[in-house]
Structure 1
Amino acid sequence: MTATVESTSGTRGKVPEVSKDAVLVALKILRYNPEVDDAPHWETYDIPALPTDRVLNLLHYVKWYIDGTLTFRRSCAHGICGSDAMQINGINRLACKVLVKDLLARKGKTTTITLAPIKGLEARKDLLVDMEPFFEAFRAVKPYLITYGNEPTRERIQSVADRERFDDTTKCILCACCTTSCPVYWTDGSYFGPAAIVNAHRFIFDSRDEGAGDRLDILNDTEGVWRCRTTFNCTDACPRGIQVTKAIQEVKRALLFRR
């Protein structure tokens, strides 16, 4: 279950001792509380951090020791659940996977790390966005095995080669990094987006599935795969290394040659 880290209390906890190996980081966060703010604004927190700390650790430091009202999502903290997707220095990343040492400035200079919510989805509070439009597109492509006729009397056998055909797109963790890195999605949220297409791809090319035609019809819509402009933003943003642009092109090719 995804946990939303939120508190109405601004009470500070007892600050832990600072390690001699710590560096000073200026954590610049785009804050927004719809109950009191007319628009988002930047707030900066000076935080001691170890080079091996993750950006998520810095958010916890602010939450636990400076301002308990800071709001963001996180769950497993191991790059599997996809909950803590955000813009880190302007690039979509998972806060639990990015290390401070990879963002450090030149020696002798204070490192500034900027954090903002992912684009294209409504910011509800601070780094927390409304994920429902994203999941609505995901559900629309029927991301599950579809078969017709009688139930088989034994498991559906699949060759190693058939499994490898869609192996890459099974890695999606629905973090929305790819979809919210897409300029088309920013400007028109009705576009299905890369993540939905990736999850359709996973079943379109599954040899056991019989619903590929339905999904291809869905993605042949004006808001489907043809909206993709092949900017490769989605592939660059994917924390799981999925070749998102390649998957989209394969779905386009399947549409062109399915007759």
Structure 2
Amino acid sequence: MPMVEAAGTLEVSIWRGGAEGAMQRYQVPARGNQTVLDIVTHIQRELDPSLAYRFACRVGMCGSCAMMVNGRARWTCRTHASRVIGADGRLGLRPLANLPVIRDLATDMAPFFDKWARARGRFQPKDAPDGAVPQEFHVVPPASKQRREADAGIECIGCGVCHASCDVVAWNPDYLGPAALNRAWTLVNDVRDGARQERMEAVAGDAGCHSCHSTQSCTERCPKQLDPSAAIAGLKRSLFWDTLLGRRA
């Protein structure tokens, strides 16, 4: 599809540098239906090849192009510039919040995925030793409550938008965060998984689900329309009943 002819210019400010840096301004042609990722790509290809950023699929599947757009975490490939340009006619782009900055718009995602590991976000087959393959498939009825709860959050792709949008993560960097806790809740409801007790212990500490203030920014901004807030509430309820019924040491 041919690009629509330019209709004026946009003033775009982009974070340049690492943890210490500054915003740099660029003048970019304004085109019909251009996305924020189109704008960043134009700058990198035509104006400043040293600009660092991430993208892969460009069609809203991988989430790797996420960044802060006028102060809000978004997938830039799905964000049309005309819908997010401020009243002043400007566009400001920064790397995802609550994560270390490698350079420019690229963040270090290692702390984000480390929290998945801390929340025991890896499936552990119930009927097999750690790392082994179970001998038979476990039948999970599609209409069961556990299946519905597990399916509700299974489509998370780890883009980091909820993590960047979470006030609690900003206040407490040790907090596991919405994505890791959503993954934990998915596995807690997976009847095939055999690590429930360890997982519940992992999410019960000061950095776990009880630290959530339920502001629901993670749910509001999830590009996949998932509900991490509900998952975290589910973990809180489960921990309450586990304690009440003596299932926790």
Report the TM range for the smaller structure's normalisation.
0.7 to 0.9
The alpha-carbon distance between structure 1 residues 223 and 105, as it changes in their structure 2 partners (threshold 3 A), is closer
Letter paired with 1:177: V
Specify the alignment match of 2:143 in structure 1: 161
Superposition pairs for residues 5-24 of structure 1, below 5 Å?
A: 19-20=4-5, 22-24=7-9
The alpha-carbon distance between structure 1 residues 159 and 82, as it changes in their structure 2 partners (threshold 3 A), is same
Specify the alignment match of 1:141 in structure 2: 119
Letter paired with 1:54: T
C-alpha contact (below 8 Å) 2:95/2:104 kept by paired residues: yes
The alpha-carbon distance between structure 1 residues 27 and 71, as it changes in their structure 2 partners (threshold 3 A), is same
How far off is 1:51 after superposition?
Answer: 3.1
Partners of 2:125 and 2:211 lie apart in 1 by 29
Specify the alignment match of 2:52 in structure 1: 71
C-alpha contact (below 8 Å) 2:63/2:75 kept by paired residues: yes
Q: 1:59 aligns with which of 36, 40, 57?
A: 40
C-alpha contact (below 8 Å) 2:14/2:24 kept by paired residues: yes
Q: Does residue 198 of the first structure (1) align with residue 174 of the second (2)? A: no
Q: Does residue 117 of the first structure (1) align with residue 95 of the second (2)? A: yes
Q: Does residue 127 of the first structure (1) align with residue 105 of the second (2)? A: yes
- Stretches of structure 1 lacking an aligned partner (at least 5 in a row): 1-16
What is the TM-score of this pair, normalised by structure 1?
0.84
Specify the alignment match of 2:61 in structure 1: 80
Superposition pairs for residues 27-38 of structure 1, below 5 Å?
A: 27-33=12-18
**Over aligned residue pairs, what C-alpha RMSD do you find?**
2.1
Specify the alignment match of 1:11 in structure 2: none
Specify the alignment match of 1:241 in structure 2: 225
How far off is 1:153 after superposition?
Answer: 4.7
Q: 1:92 aligns with which of 68, 73, 86?
A: 73
Cα deviations by residue, 1:67-99 (Å, 9 ceiling, x for unpaired): 001111111112221211111011010111101
Partners of 2:158 and 2:86 lie apart in 1 by 31
- Stretches of structure 2 lacking an aligned partner (at least 5 in a row): none
Partners of 2:85 and 2:135 lie apart in 1 by 58
How far off is 1:145 after superposition?
Answer: 2.4
Specify the alignment match of 2:202 in structure 1: 218
Letter paired with 1:98: T
The alpha-carbon distance between structure 1 residues 190 and 237, as it changes in their structure 2 partners (threshold 3 A), is same
Letter paired with 1:146: Q
How far off is 1:240 after superposition?
Answer: 0.7
Partners of 2:187 and 2:86 lie apart in 1 by 44
The alpha-carbon distance between structure 1 residues 52 and 188, as it changes in their structure 2 partners (threshold 3 A), is same
Q: Secondary structure at the match of 1:139?
A: helix
Partners of 2:134 and 2:151 lie apart in 1 by 24
Partners of 1:152 and 1:118 lie apart in 2 by 39
How far off is 1:165 after superposition?
Answer: 2.2
How far off is 1:21 after superposition?
Answer: 5.5
Q: Secondary structure at the match of 2:157?
A: coil
The alpha-carbon distance between structure 1 residues 105 and 122, as it changes in their structure 2 partners (threshold 3 A), is closer
Q: 1:184 aligns with which of 142, 159, 168?
A: 168
Q: Secondary structure at the match of 1:41?
A: strand
How far off is 1:127 after superposition?
Answer: 0.9
Specify the alignment match of 1:14 in structure 2: none
What is the TM-score of this pair, normalised by structure 2?
0.87
Q: Secondary structure at the match of 2:23?
A: strand
